[in-house]
Structure 1
Amino acid sequence: MLTFEQKQAIIETFPTLTKKEISLKRLNYHFEASLYEKSIVVEKLHPNGNGFVFIGDLLKYEKEANDKGLVNIRDYSEAALRAILTDAIDYLSEEIDDSPVIEIWASREGTKLELEFNNRSWNIYHQRNLEESFGTREDAVAYLREEGFRPSK
C-alpha cells in the first residue's frame, strides 16, 4: 500500500489538479476545468492512506464504485492510481456525444445483435432489448466473440 505522501506525490504529478486542504489534515484535489458541476477528483485523502477518486458512472469501475461514483484508493498501486486519475480527469473533461455509434454483429445461425456506443457505455441489444452493457469497446467485443458473434458485412 502506498503511503499518504506517496499518493500525494503521484496526484501532484497531474498539473490540472489543484490541492485544497480540508479538515483533519485531509486533502481534496479539484479539476477546475471540469465540464460539469463536479470538480473534485480526489476526495478526503487522509494521512492514513485512505481516500476516494470520483469516476462517476464509468462502467469500468462499477464493481469498485459506491453509489456516489467514488472509488476507495486505499490499496491502490502507483500504476492503478495513475490510471484511475487519468480516467477521472478524462471523464470530467469529456463532452458526451449524443450521436450513437452502432455496429451490427451476427452469429452463424443468423441472429443479429447491435453494439451501440452511447453515453459512455458500450451496449449490446437484441431487437432493441438491452442484453449487456460494458465500460469499454474491448470488453463488449470480447463478449460478442465469446458468444460466437462476428461483425456483420
Structure 2
Amino acid sequence: MLTFEEKLSIIETFPELQRKDVSLGRVNFHYPDSVQEKKIVVQHLHPNGNGFVYAGHMRKKDTDRKGFINIRDYNEAELKELIQRSVDYLSEPPAEIEEEENEFARLEGAWIGPEKQELTLQKEDLLWNVYSGSNLEECFESPVEAERYLLDEGFRQSKKRKM
C-alpha cells in the first residue's frame, strides 16, 4: 500500500488538478476545467492512506453511490491510470455525454422489487431519478449509478418500460 505522501506525490503529477486541503488533514483534488458539474477527482485523501477517486463512469469497477472508488490498496500504476481516466471522462464535451446517456434510455420505466414494490426510473434534465409513486426516492448523476442502485436493492426491470 502506498503511503499518504506517495499518493500525494503521484496525484500532484497531474498539473490540471488543484489541491484543496479539507478537515482532519484530508486533501481533495479538483479538476476546474471539467465540462461536467462534477469537479472533484480525488476526495478525502487521508493521512492514513485512504482516499477516493471519482470513477462513476467506469462500469467494471465497484464504486460507491456517488461514483467514487476507494484507493487504499492501489499501486502507483493503478492510481495513475484511474486518475487519468477520470480526468479524461470529465473532459468529454457534453454532446458525447448525452450520446452515452441516450444508450441508457432502455433503463427508464418501471422496476419491480423483491416484495413486488414498484419504483420508476426517469431521466430528467441531467439527473436520473428514482420515484416511488410521485415521491422522489433517489437522484443519480449517471444511469450507471441509478442502475447499480436498483440492482443492489434487488429490483429488476418490469416488462412495461417507458412511461
| Category of TM-score, reference length = shorter chain | 0.5 to 0.7
CA contact (8 A) 2:57 2:89 kept: no
CA contact (8 A) 1:58 1:120 kept: no
Flag the 1:53–1:99 CA change in 2: closer, same or farther, 3 A: closer
Counterpart residue identity of residue 67, structure 1? R
Quote the offset at 1:95 in angstroms. Answer: 2.0
Quote the offset at 1:59 in angstroms. Answer: 1.2
Counterpart residue identity of residue 48, structure 1? N
What is the TM-score with the length of structure 1 in the denominator?
Answer: 0.62
* Equivalences, count: 105
What is the TM-score with the length of structure 2 in the denominator?
Answer: 0.59
Higher strand share: 1
Counterpart residue identity of residue 22, structure 2? I
Aligned to 1:111: none
> Is 1:33–2:29 an aligned residue pair?
no
Q: Could you tell me which runs of 5 or more consecutive residues in structure 2 were left unpaired when the two chains were aligned.
A: 105-143, 145-163
Identity of aligned residues (%): 49
Aligned to 2:85: 87
Secondary structure class of the residue paired with 2:36: coil
Quote the offset at 1:37 in angstroms. Answer: 1.3
CA RMSD, aligned part only?
A: 2.3
Flag the 1:99–1:37 CA change in 2: closer, same or farther, 3 A: closer
Quote the offset at 1:57 in angstroms. Answer: 2.7
Quote the offset at 1:85 in angstroms. Answer: 0.1
Equivalent residues in 2 for 1:107-126, closer than 5 Å: 118-119=100-101
> Is 1:15–2:15 an aligned residue pair?
yes
Summarize deviations over 1:126-150 as a string: whole Å, max 9, x none: xxxxxxxxx9xxxxxxxxxxxxxxx
**Aligned-partner Cα distance in 1 for 2:6–2:98:** 41
Aligned to 2:4: 4
Aligned to 2:74: 76
Secondary structure class of the residue paired with 1:48: coil
